[in-house]
């Protein structure tokens, strides 16, 4: 009887050794994994550009500009209304007192703007 239990014990030990090595050694060759995959993110459509309207700004000044000066339109930051991120557009003279420029703005946009008399230091308009 001891021989049957010894054989059974030997067979059990051999079986456990084979099973434990099977967990460590792969018998099948799987294709290599190409690195970590990124989760799929739903792609949203690109935003539709807002329609724009050509808007003409005109300013009349009380006296003609002297040499080296020019007039510009400054569109202020839409969030704060301050001139930190202002965009400046030069204005063209119609005559010595009237200046105009045309800017494409989104339809129904509310903007804040200023006229700037540009010299060596910009002079902001404060009467309109």
Q: How many angstroms separate the Cα of 60 from the Cα of each of 72, 87, 97, 114?
A: 12, 21, 5, 13
The pLDDT score that the predictor gives to residue 61 is: 93
Residue 93 has a pLDDT of 94
| Tokens describing residue 26 | 């792969």
118 and 74 Cβ atoms separated by less than 8 Å: no
Residue 5 scores a pLDDT above 90:
no
Domains of the chain with bracketed CATH: 52-124 (2.60.40.10)
Tokens of 74: 């400054």
Task: Write out the two tokens for 97.
Answer: 């007192």
pLDDT of 38 > 80? The answer is: no
Q: What is the pLDDT of residue 73?
A: 94
| pLDDT over 90 (residue 37) | no
Confirm whether pTM is higher than 0.75. Answer: no
Q: How confident is the model at residue 123 (pLDDT cuts 50, 70, 90)?
A: low
Residue 103 has pLDDT above 90, yes or no: yes
| Contacts (Cβ under 8 Å, ≥6 apart) of 53 | 104, 105, 106, 107
Residue matched to tokens 């090595």:
21
User: Which residue has better confidence, 123 or 5?
Assistant: 5
C-alpha 59/C-alpha 67 separation (Å) is 19
**Mean pLDDT, rounded, for 79-107:** 89
CB contact at 8 A, 57 and 114: no
Average predicted confidence (pLDDT) for the chain: 81
Compute the distance between CA of residue 115 and CA of residue 128 in angstroms, rounded to an integer.
9
């Amino acid at each position: 009887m001891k021989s049957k239990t010894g054989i059974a014990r030997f067979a059990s030990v051999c079986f456990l050794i084979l099973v434990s090595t099977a967990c460590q050694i792969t018998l099948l060759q799987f294709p290599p994994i190409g690195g970590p995959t990124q989760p799929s993110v739903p792609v949203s459509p690109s935003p539709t550009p807002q329609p724009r309207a050509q808007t003409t700004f005109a300013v009349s000044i009380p006296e003609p500009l002297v040499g080296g000066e020019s007039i510009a339109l400054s569109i202020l930051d839409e969030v704060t209304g301050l001139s930190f991120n202002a965009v400046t557009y030069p204005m063209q003279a119609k005559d010595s007192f009237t200046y105009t420029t045309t800017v494409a703005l989104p339809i129904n946009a509310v903007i804040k703007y200023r006229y700037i008399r540009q010299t060596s230091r910009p002079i902001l308009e404060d009467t309109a």
